[in-house]
Amino acid sequence: MSKTETGAGAAGTPAVEVTAALRAFVNEFKGFQDNMHSKLKKQEERLTMLDRKSLITGRPALSTAAEVEAPHQKAFAAYLRTGDDDALRGLELEGKALSTAVNTDGGFLVDPQTSEAIKSVLKSTASIRSIAQVVTVEATSYDVLIDHTDIGSGWANEASNTVETGTPSIDRVSIPLHELSAMPKASQRLLDDSAFDVEGWLAERISDKFLRAEASAFVNGDGIDKPTGILTHAQIAEASWAWGNIGYIATGTDGDFDAVNPSDAILDLVYALGAQYRANATFVMNSKTAGAVRKMKDADGRFLWSDGLAAGEPARLLGYPVLIAEDMPDIASGADAIAFGDFAAGYTVAERPDLRVLRDPFSAKPHVLFYATKRVGGDVSDFAAIKLLKFAVS
C-alpha cells in the first residue's frame, strides 16, 4: 500500500490539521510577544527620556545655587584654613557690604553667611544695641540733627496780621566710629581637620568678643577710642534738667530704696519721662538690681514685676519691658543703677557694614590668630529720651 493511501500522510487528516493549528498558534504568539516587547521597549525609552528631562531641568537650580554660594565660601574657608588668598583676590564679591576683597586695609571681608551670623547674635543679645537705633554708614562718623524746641504757633483771623512765631533750635550730635577688634585663635591641626566648621567657630568667637566689648561701651564707654555710654554724660536732677545732660530721679535714701515706700521712686522715674517717649520705653538694669526690684509690691499686695508670658518675651516692670544689661552698676551709694527711656530715640549705634579678618600664623605658633575688625560708634542722640534712677538722698 502506498503512502498516499494511508491516513497518516493524507492532506486533511486530523494529524496534519493539528500540526498546522499548532504552527499557526505559535506564530501568532510569537508575533504577540514581539509586539509586547516593542511596546515595553518604547515605554522604557519614554520614561528614560522623562527622567533625563527632569534631571536636566533640576540641574540649573543646583548649579546656580552652587555658583552663588560656593565660590566665596570655598575661597574664604581656604583662606582661614591655609592662608591661601589667591581665590579671594580674584573673586568679585556681591552685595553692598561685600563690594571688595582686597586686603589693603588689612585682611579680607568675611563670608556673607558668617557676617550675617555675627550680626544676628549682636542684635538678639542683652545689650543696649537691641533696643537702640542702629544705622549703617559709609563715612567715619554719623551726625544726628535734633530739634528739641518748638517752632511756635499762634491763632489768627482773616483781618489781623500774622505774628512771627519762635524759631526752632537745632542741635547736632556727631557720633564718630571707632575700631572694634577681636582676635580668636585656633591650632593649625584643628584647622586642617576637614570636619571642623571653621566659619561657624569664627562667627561664634567674634560675636562673643564683640558683644561683651559693645555692651560695656554702650553703658560706660568714655568716648575715647570707643563709643560713649549712657552713664558717661553729665547727670542732673530732673527738676533742673537741661539739654546736654541726662536727668535723674533720686530714691531719697543713699545706696538703697526708701524703706517705707520703695516703689515710689520707680513711679517717679516713669513719669519723669515725657509722654511721647513712654510708649516705647524700656527699663535697663543688671541682674542684682532686678532681684531687688522684683520683690516690690503695690499697695494692694500685687507684684510690680511680671515675667514674660512667652519664650523670648522680656519681663515687665509696671507694664514696661526690662532689659537685663550686666554692665549697669549695682545698687550702691550714688549709683545710677536703673535707666528708663525710649532708647530707639535716645541712643544711636552707628556702624560700617564691612567686617574684616586677617589671618596671622606667626605671632602665636603653633596657633593661628584671626584678627577681626569692624568700625562702630554710639552715643546719646536725644537727652530727653532717657532718665536715670540715682540711689542717693537727692
Collect all residues with Cβ–Cβ distance below 8 Å to 116 and sequence separation of at least 6. Answer: none
Task: List Cβ neighbours of 250 (8 Å cut-off, separation of 6 or more).
Answer: 237, 265, 390, 391, 392, 393, 394
Q: What is the pLDDT of residues 205-241, one digit of tens each?
A: 888 888 899 999 999 999 999 999 999 999 999 999 9
- pLDDT reading at 281 higher than 90: yes
Q: What pLDDT is recorded for position 88? A: 57
Lowest mean pLDDT among 4-8, 27-31, 43-47, 160-164: 4-8
Amino acid at 314: P
Task: Answer for the pair 173, 146: CB distance below 8 angstroms, yes or no.
Answer: yes
Mean pLDDT computed over every residue of the chain? 79
Question: Residue 394 and residue 184: Cα distance in Å, rounded?
Answer: 46
- 357 bridge partner residues: 108, 372
- CA 44 – CA 101 distance, rounded (Å): 52
State yes or no: pLDDT of 162 exceeds 80.
no
Binned at pLDDT 50, 70 and 90, residue 36 comes out as confident
More confident residue, 250 or 104: 250
| Confidence check: pLDDT of 98 > 50 | no
CA dihedral of residues 365, 367, 372, 378 (deg, nearest 10) = -100
Q: What is the largest CA-CA distance in the chain?
A: 154
Distance of CA 292 to the CA centre of its chain: 32
Type of residue numbered 267: L
Question: What pLDDT was estimated at residue 134?
Answer: 93
C-alpha distance from residue 235 to each of 22, 244, 269, 364, 377 (Å): 115, 9, 14, 45, 21
User: With bands split at pLDDT 50, 70 and 90, how would you rate the model's confidence at 123?
Assistant: low
Mention every residue, 6+ apart, whose C-beta is less than 8 A from residue 85.
79, 103, 108
pLDDT at residue 116 is higher than 90: no
Please tell me the predicted confidence (pLDDT) of residue 170.
Answer: 74
- In this prediction, residue 165 carries a pLDDT of 56
Q: What's the mean pLDDT in 242-267?
A: 94
Give the residue with greater pLDDT, 102 vs 85. Answer: 85
What average pLDDT does the segment 253-276 reach? 94
The pLDDT of residue 151 is: 52
Pairing relationship of beta strands 235-237 and 246-250 according to DSSP bridges: parallel
pLDDT band at 62 (very low <50, low <70, confident <90, very high): very low
pLDDT of 144:
83
Section 107-134 average pLDDT: 74
pLDDT at 50 over 60: no
